[in-house]
Amino acid sequence: MDHYVLPKLPYEYDALEPYIDKATMKVHYEGHHKTYVEKLNSALKDYPDFRKHVEELLASLNVLPEEVREAVATNAGGHANHSLFWSLLTPNGERRPVGGEFSSNLDNTFGNFDAFKQKFTKMAVEHFSNGWIWLAVDNHGKMELFSTKDHESPITRGMIPLLVLDVWEHAYYLKHQNRRPEYIHAFWNIVNWTEVSARWDEFKKTGVTNREWRRAG
Ligand code: MN
């Protein structure tokens, strides 16, 4: 039996319409994401001892045998990043953080929500080629906004992701073609701020590092 499995989507393919269309959602989840899971299983087929939780893999890529390290990095990243991305979207988006400690820390770090949103949007528009835009927190509780290339995860940098946007073309091309700013604009309507805040609260309460921070399977 395969060790890594595609997690169930928390909503139907058409639930995020009109912001993310059904056709994109379907191919993104059961085409792209599923392939990363399959390739991760395949990369570790002959290395049962290294079949750790996907976030543990990402936190310690350097311990992996050299011949599979790159394949694991790419596909564990692709798997974990997509699992997280799905969990942070919702048809019932609140349009902005709903208060609480996450919200006040975001304000302290970026000035206010609109300033944060503007900075994140600019980074997402300007990111060259495939990658991901992140709001993440380090072990000291400092929030940071940055992008990664391909499927690099903040976990490999020792950080805990709070919010993420997939800016690979496959995430928006069917509906928006080359108009990435349109897709980013749509994204702000479906962010699950309740879940983003819950991730922050869990980090603050338990003080866990990324190694214990388990969501994706
Ligand atoms: Mn993707």
170 alpha carbon to ligand 1 midpoint, in Å?
Answer: 6
Enter the pTM of the model.
0.94
130 alpha carbon to ligand 1 midpoint, in Å?
Answer: 9
Domains parsed from the chain with CATH numbers:
21-217 (3.55.40.20)
- The pLDDT score that the predictor gives to residue 139 is 87
Q: What Å distances lie between residue 33 and 30, 91, 166, 216, CA to CA?
A: 6, 20, 12, 12
- The pLDDT score that the predictor gives to residue 213 is 45
Q: Stretch 185-206: mean pLDDT, rounded?
A: 92
pLDDT tens readout for residues 146-181: 999 999 999 999 999 999 999 999 999 999 999 999
- The pLDDT score that the predictor gives to residue 24 is 98
81 alpha carbon to ligand 1 midpoint, in Å?
Answer: 8
User: In sequence order, which residues have a C-beta less than 8 Å from that of residue 40 and are 6 or more positions away?
Assistant: 4, 54, 71, 72, 75, 76, 78, 79
15 alpha carbon to ligand 1 midpoint, in Å?
Answer: 17
- The amino acid at residue 170 is H
131 alpha carbon to ligand 1 midpoint, in Å?
Answer: 9
- The amino acid at residue 124 is A
* pLDDT at 210 > cutoff 50: no
Confidence of residue 214 (pLDDT cuts 50, 70, 90): low
Q: Which of left, alpha, beta for 177 (phi over 0: left; psi -120 to 50: alpha)? A: left
According to DSSP, the residues that pair with 145 across neighbouring strands are: 135
pLDDT tens readout for residues 22-61: 999 999 999 999 999 999 999 999 999 999 999 999 999 9
Helix (H, G, I), strand (E, B) or coil at 133: strand
30 alpha carbon to ligand 1 midpoint, in Å?
Answer: 11
pLDDT tens readout for residues 158-167: 999 999 999 9
Pairwise CA distance, residues 176 & 200, whole Å: 32
* Nearest Cα residue to 189 out of 58, 41, 9, 17: 17
34 alpha carbon to ligand 1 midpoint, in Å?
Answer: 11
pLDDT tens readout for residues 84-140: 999 999 999 999 998 899 999 999 999 999 999 999 999 999 999 999 999 999 988
Ligand 1 is an ion; its neighbours by CB within 5 Å are 166, 168, 171
- The pLDDT score that the predictor gives to residue 212 is 43
Pairwise CA distance, residues 18 & 15, whole Å: 9
21 alpha carbon to ligand 1 midpoint, in Å?
Answer: 14
184 alpha carbon to ligand 1 midpoint, in Å?
Answer: 14
Residue 185, classified by CB atoms within 10 Å of its CB into exposed (0-12), middle (13-18) or buried (19+), is middle
